[in-house]
Structure 1
Amino acid sequence: MNASSEKFASGSPPPISACIITFNEADRIGDCLASLSFCAEIIVVDSYSTDATVAIARAMGAKVLQRRFDGYRSQKQFAVEQASHDWVLCLDADERVGDELRASIEAARTTNFKGAAGYRCTLMSNYFGRFLRHGNAYPNRLMRFFDRRRGGWRGQREVHESVSVDGPVLTLAGDLIHYPYRSLQHQLTKTERYARMMAEHDFARGKRASLHKLVLSPFWRFWRGYLLRGGFLDGWHGLVYAYVGANYARQKAIMLWLLQNGQPVTTPPAAGSVEALDV
């Protein structure tokens, strides 16, 4: 039993393992780990970072494993399988557990997570200094906390991957705080990568592009997020976020059209905590 697990003695409510995948996250992993002090164990699966990510994680008490990156879903599921405890909390390095969410998890833990196979929470993104509370960005509900005996990172999707469980899913109060982008250029690069990956995924499943989708999909993304869902209430931040989301829809439609016309679309290699593009 490691030092962090000793405080969860036999007969206590179920201990929690936190699972994180990383690649070159030295500037963000510290704050993520600091928000997980209530967990009995922290597992970090690193894709051979070339910065100080591994050293920081080990210094903060995490168990670090290194594994070649072969997709987001498979990397996250591997991390879950390395955990010592059955209740697992999955985060990316650019996320932190907020105070209210932590209190909700600890309250559920005192009931032995009765009646639940998993829990949803909301992801709240800090977009260049402002928390987005409207539009396509919020509330973004995700299942990240679950009993691994009853579920996991299933399916074939390697982008916008998600957890599924066999059993009831309850909702926790509080937010998972998300710092998704280091800069606007980082967001644009990340958006293009996801558009490529989703186009390849859709093409493999038999989906095809059309002029209708190419013209209307970007417009609908912007109109839905900025107007229908109130993205304009987030000011200039909401406007830029909605615009980049519309551009993502345009890029994906173009790349799908290229694929169906025999033009290869190469996805740049990536690894680590680039999971949530909330468009």
Structure 2
Amino acid sequence: MTAIADRPRLSACIITLNEADRIDACIASLAFCDEVVVVDSGSTDGTRERAQTAGARVIERAFDGYRRQKDYAVQQASHDWVLCLDADERVSAELRASIETARDAGFAGTSGYRCARATDYFGAYLRHGNAYPDRVLRLFDRRRGGWRGDREIHEHASVDGKVETLAGDLLHHAYRSLADQLARLERYARMMAEHDRARGRRATVMNLLFNPWWRFVRGYVLRLGFLDGWRGLVYAWVDANYVRQKYIKLWLLDRGQPIA
């Protein structure tokens, strides 16, 4: 890992579970960091071994929520400035250059940095719709924030102070197949429904009928998802179905019905 005395040191933090086919590319894209910390929650496919071979420091910890796992990884870092990635993400060359420029300036006057995330979808990156630019805050000073809140799904980092936007994309290789995407979104829909129910939210008929329709229209039409061709259409339809599943599950939970 690169280490230059007059720049802030930087730790990369990743959480994993059975990511042997993707962890190498993720870690390789972080070669400019001073260390890579991987928190693994019981992989059985050699993820831990591959991460160690790639130079990461690997810690095993039982999974108790995405937010908690990421927060734990940040706390294990050796340095206060951290860059958080999922195992299916990679830092592009342009984003790396932006990070290094900010780092050379000492991350001066800033608590954190956000960047756009581009999702690979059936062999091409989506550039429109609800999928892009999907800006996420991933580079920050942990002394000023981190993975806060109580939501363990669709978690996000936040900081106190100024946040700037970096040029370049975080490349997101989210789905191995359509079946993988559908299974993942079904799980997320269940988790979000349970989260909303626990906080007193209720599903209405309008939620069931209007919200999925609006998600599709907003992404495919208003945000120009149609410019991504057939990939944009499939993504928008699956995305709308996720919203439909979430409210159906919440509707059932409201009525004391099982959803798993």
Q: Which residues in structure 2 correspond to 1:82-161 (within 5 Å)?
A: 82-161=76-155
Q: What secondary structure, in the 3-state scheme, does the structure 2 residue paired with 1:56 have?
A: helix
Say whether 1:173 aligns with 2:167: yes
Deviations 1:98-155 (A, max 9, x none): 0110000000011110010000000000101011000000010100000001111000
Within 1, Cα distance between the matches of 2:137 and 2:242? 24
Deviations 1:72-123 (A, max 9, x none): 0000000000000010000000000001100000000111100100000000
Say whether 1:186 aligns with 2:177: no
Say whether 1:17 aligns with 2:11: yes
TM-score, length basis structure 1: 0.92
Q: What secondary structure, in the 3-state scheme, does the structure 2 residue paired with 1:232 have?
A: helix
| Residue in 2 that maps onto 1:230 | 224
Q: Which residues in structure 2 correspond to 1:56-95 (within 5 Å)?
A: 56-95=50-89
Within 1, Cα distance between the matches of 2:116 and 2:238? 21
| Residue in 2 that maps onto 1:271 | none
Within 2, Cα distance between the matches of 1:231 and 1:22? 30
Identify which of 205, 212, 217 aligns with 2:211: 217
Within 2, Cα distance between the matches of 1:79 and 1:212? 40
Within 2, Cα distance between the matches of 1:110 and 1:96? 21
| Residue in 2 that maps onto 1:207 | 201
Q: Pairwise CA RMSD of aligned residues? A: 0.8
TM-score, length basis structure 2: 0.99
Deviation at 1:265, TM superposition (A): 2.7
- Matched to 2:64, the amino acid is D
* Percent of aligned pairs with the same amino acid: 66
Within 2, Cα distance between the matches of 1:59 and 1:187? 29
- Matched to 1:26, the amino acid is A
Within 2, Cα distance between the matches of 1:212 and 1:69? 35
Deviation at 1:217, TM superposition (A): 1.0
Deviation at 1:205, TM superposition (A): 1.3
| Residue in 1 that maps onto 2:4 | 8
Within 1, Cα distance between the matches of 2:159 and 2:240? 32
Within 2, Cα distance between the matches of 1:264 and 1:43? 38
Within 2, Cα distance between the matches of 1:191 and 1:84? 34
Q: What secondary structure, in the 3-state scheme, does the structure 1 residue paired with 2:48 have?
A: helix
- Matched to 1:199, the amino acid is A
Q: What secondary structure, in the 3-state scheme, does the structure 2 residue paired with 1:125 have?
A: strand
| Residue in 2 that maps onto 1:250 | 244
Deviation at 1:15, TM superposition (A): 1.1
Within 1, Cα distance between the matches of 2:258 and 2:115? 38
Say whether 1:46 aligns with 2:63: no
The structure showing larger relative contact order (alpha-carbon pairs under 8 Å, at least 6 residues apart) is 1
Q: Which runs of 5+ in 2 are unaligned?
A: none
Aligned length: 260
Within 1, Cα distance between the matches of 2:258 and 2:139? 37
Within 2, Cα distance between the matches of 1:69 and 1:255? 23
Within 2, Cα distance between the matches of 1:60 and 1:110? 25
Within 2, Cα distance between the matches of 1:135 and 1:67? 36
Q: What secondary structure, in the 3-state scheme, does the structure 2 residue paired with 1:140 have?
A: coil
